[in-house]
Amino acid sequence: MNKYDVIIIGAGAAGLSAATTATNTGHRVLVLDMGPHPARKVAVSGGGRCNITNMAADASRYFGENPNFVRGAIARVSPVDILNWMDAHDLAYTEKAPGQYFCASNATDVVNALIKDASSADIKYNHVVKSVEKQNNEFVVGANDTTYISKSLIVASGGVSCGVHGVSDIGYKIAKYFGHKIVPVRPALCAMAIDTPAPELMGISIDCEITIGREIIHDALLFTHFGIGGPAVYRASVRDISNGLVINMCPGIDIYELLRLAKHTNGRRSISNVLSEHIPMRLARYFGGGDMRNIADIRDAELKNIADTINRLKIAGRDIRLHNLASAEIVRGGVSTDLISSKTMESKICPGLFFASEVMDVAGDLGGFNLHWAWASGRIAGNNS
């Protein structure tokens, strides 16, 4: 008989974590996954090294209509808890940057540990969920021409980003069917297409500051053939950029004062020659515009325009085109958290229905925050199902 205590849709980090906690409480658990393998996004996270968590995980590093929704979950499942989990499985980890932890071997070891933990659950791969209904206080799930029944249902199907690893909008459809609002999704943690600078800068990487409202992101920027990418841009993309952003390509240096000083102290140098001492030569030549005049012969107003482009490049929100969902690491948007309990991950309007991880309108910053949210929300949903 295809009857279970809990059915979980999605065998990713959240789904497997939920399966583990649910089976640990004595529940009979079924996990349905549309793909041939579990935790496919985990396997490629962090460049295959799996950025397991970040000690800076708090509400300020999560985005959506209600970023405070994550507070309780992160308090109950902390980064230290995840490191303890790694220790319990004899998985070594390394601190790539302050507070940012990666698996010391590879992501496959993390996936194997997740599967081992959830081994008491019945996991079925290549099972595409086609329908979900609720009858007589039980969920009736149709997948691969088979019907499964359970008292509780956990939707951990993820978002619709990174399609190469197999994604589905089934989680949004289920939530909408049971009366939940869907916040429109868009790509996040992705590159941006902009009109300036130019394609000839492709491959140049610089340290930069990106200002969005009152927040300043300090990280690396990479010029691409269609615009800009790199960690700084990925981090900017998950935030609200509707009002645009400002890029400082030479933090800590007032380029206008630098050029004015050079004009009065070493006026025979060219603009690009002066700039090349602080930014890559190819970038310096681009901003110099091929102008080989002595800097002493250039008006201050011209120097000011060049300096503002380097220190304060303004990009309007309407001019930013986020790269597509297929290449984005996550989405921003999803099932609104308004009608979901932050303590249990259970629907407030459909008892027994739970949500976990990226399917909800919770998007984390770059650096292990999204995977931590998967661990935390999955554990809590499984424990309360």
In sequence order, what are the residues at sequence separation of 6 or more whose Cβ sits closer than 8 angstroms to the Cβ of residue 334? Answer: 64, 159, 171, 172, 182, 183, 185, 358, 359, 360, 361, 362
Is the domain of 220 the same as that of 72?
no
Task: Report the pLDDT value the prediction gives residue 184, as an integer from 0 to 100.
Answer: 97
Tokens found for residue 197? 């600078």
Last residue in a domain, options 323, 338, 366: 323
pTM of the model: 0.94
Residues linked to residue 315 through DSSP beta bridges, in sequence order: 245
Q: Are residues 348 and 222 in the same domain?
A: no
Q: Phi, psi (5° rounding) for residue 64?
A: 155, -175
Secondary structure letter of residue 349 according to DSSP: S
Looking at residue 206, what is its pLDDT? 97
336, 183 in Cβ contact below 8 A? yes
**φ and ψ at residue 139, rounded to 5 degrees:** -90, 135
**What is the count of structural domains for the chain?**
2
* 104 and 238 together in one domain: no
Structural domain that includes position 297? 191-323
Tell me the three state secondary structure of residue 146.
strand
Provide the pLDDT for residue 197. Answer: 66
Residue 322: predicted pLDDT = 93
- Of 323, 339, 355, the one marking the end of a domain is 323
In the predicted model, residues of the chain with pLDDT beneath 70 are: 1, 163-166, 196-197
The sign one gets for the Cα dihedral 60, 63, 65, 70 is negative
> How many whole angstroms separate alpha carbon 264 and alpha carbon 326?
52
At residue 1, the pLDDT reads: 61
Contact 240, 212 (CB under 8 A): yes
- Same domain for 30 and 61? yes
Q: Domain with 14 in it: what CATH number? A: 3.50.50.60
pLDDT of residue 165: 66
Question: Do residues 17 and 32 both lie within one domain?
Answer: yes
Give all strands (DSSP E) within 226-329, no chain letters. Answer: 227-229, 245-248, 313-315, 321-322
What is the rounded CA–CA span in Å between residue 330 and residue 346?
22
Residues 177 and 74 in one domain: yes
| Contact assessment for residue 336 and residue 268, using Cβ atoms and an 8 Å cutoff | no
Beta bridge partners of 215: 212
For residues 272 and 52, give the distance between their C-alpha atoms in angstroms, rounded to a whole number.
Answer: 43
Cβ within 8 Å of residue 229, ≥6 positions away: 190, 191, 192, 221, 222, 223, 323
**Three-state SS at 183:** strand
Residue type, 18: A
* Both tokens assigned to 178: 């049971």
The domain spanning residue 292 has which CATH number?
1.10.8.260
**Residue in 348, 352, 344 with CA at minimum distance from that of residue 380:** 344
The token pair that represents 23 in the structure block:
């089976």
